Structure 1
């Protein structure tokens, strides 16, 4: 794999995961002012999702800077996916919401 392909693929597979984790952690920290509430309600799913948010900025800011264009492309696509979920909920289109989830479930076959 050449370096250009590597940068594109890592943006999709690694970098967006970190940004998503940081964003979720920031969302919770801004909304839940009581640390005890976070601790009491956090499930293993939440812990798994925000695990990457524990990563140091000294490592990740240079990576995001170096791969900025690919990361921005991936962020735009990720935001588009989030909007699909938001729209399905707003429109109470639970069949479409189920389709989105089932489509995402296909990742299980890849990550065994």
Structure 2
């Protein structure tokens, strides 16, 4: 019996999810630094706030792509599913955590 190969969509899911998760973390750190360094807080209608929001939605879209690829990798037969599982869990966890942070921020504002 030949050795099973890794799922292509699973590998793609892991790479996309890991990249988006790291970039989302960095984006949230930058947003926090801008909020703390600006007297009176960051203006919601400033160019910086709009760019942060745009990149956040872009990264959330990337995480949805990673989630879709991970589910696709999980559905492939006769392929190893290690990276598909990792990518799916990482994408779903990052999405849930980001949505939770956004909801927390809206409740405190």
TM-score normalized by structure 2? 0.37
Structure with higher Rg: it is: 2
The structure that is helix-richer by fraction is 1
